[in-house]
Amino acid sequence: MWAETYDRDLADVFAIQSEIAKAIADQLQARLSPNEKSAIEKPPTTDLAAFDLYSRARTLILTTSFGSEQNLPRAIELLNQAVTRDPAFFKAYCQLVYAHGYAYTALNDHTPARLAAAEASLQAAARLRPDAGDTHLARAQYLYLGRRDYAGALAELVKAGRALPNDPRIFEWTGYILRRRGQREEGLRNLQKAAELDPRNYFVMQQIALTYRDLRAYPEEIAFLDRALSIVPKDVTTEVARALVDFEWKADTKPLQQAIDSILARDPGAISEAADDWFLCALAEGDSIAAGRALMTVGNNPWWTEGGVF
């Protein structure tokens, strides 16, 4: 069904979306709950322009690399425009909770103002649909990303799962929490279930690869990094992570150095996203000049000083 063509008038976009969602559920042999059926059939907004803004933001978020600042500010801008056009756009508020929470935790914006923006978006979503599965999911994301309240986030995911039993995000975020608690194998199983339900989710592929890296399961890590690169080719962090496997597994710096040289040749400004790995490679090769250059490119990359919560 992934090769099907849907040719309709733009005004029928919501009907097309519903048709595709139902076809995917049938293909996966998923039994939809009443809440899921209602969510599929009900248009998220009646404003086509707001929906376009939301869809563009979603695409940016779904292709945002782990720890990268490249797409998220623009996605937040688009989502804010969407809720300005339609103040009742529930799903856009839910996306804003995640986007602000991710910026607060994983990017260089660990500020009270950013956390307050995530909380305000959550409150807006809760006012519109207090008992919706997506509201519980958004609250789980807020507790996890903004408050590091893992028990509270997991409890919200249980509530969300009752309303959205086939939603890959339930398994995805459960996987993150279990992994954060040290239950890597169980967390990995949840992430793999999310990947089965959403096989084009680039971020999930990255996260599964990172989990395999922690487990020192290098062949499996390679497989999921390759899947991620098939979705978003030439992504800097994933490209370097793929080359880093050979260094960590076989103490071979050559693929890593080749990846760094390739990035420097085509987009020197992008190397800051992999400056730590460049520095590591330079140290391993005893190249003090390259190590100095790598340190100069770190800039404000929060992954160098703080790391991430995922």
Q: Which helix (H) or strand (E) holds 143?
A: none
For residue 108, what pLDDT is reported?
75
Report if residue 298 sits inside a domain: yes
Within 10 angstroms of residue 108's Cβ, the number of other Cβ atoms is 14
Report if residue 243 sits inside a domain: yes
**pTM of the full structure:** 0.84
Report if residue 102 sits inside a domain: no
Structural domain count, the chain: 1
In whole angstroms, give the CA distance from residue 55 to residue 50. 9
Report if residue 247 sits inside a domain: yes
CA 69 to chain centre: 12
The DSSP annotation for 26-87 comes to HHTT----HHHHHHHHS-S-S-HHHHHHHHHHHHHHHT--TT--SSHHHHHHHHHHHHHH-T
pLDDT in tens, 78-102: 999 999 999 999 999 999 999 999 9
Report if residue 248 sits inside a domain: yes
pLDDT in tens, 172-196: 999 999 999 999 999 999 999 999 9
In whole angstroms, give the CA distance from residue 134 to residue 126. 9
Report if residue 240 sits inside a domain: yes
Distances (CA, A) of 76 to 126, 135, 252: 19, 18, 40
Pick from 143, 203, 145: nearest CA to 169: 203
For residue 276, give its domain range.
234-310
Report if residue 269 sits inside a domain: yes
Query: Residue 166: what are its φ and ψ, rounded to 5°?
Result: -105, 10
For residue 1, what pLDDT is reported?
47
Report if residue 257 sits inside a domain: yes
pLDDT in tens, 271-297: 988 999 999 999 999 999 999 999 999
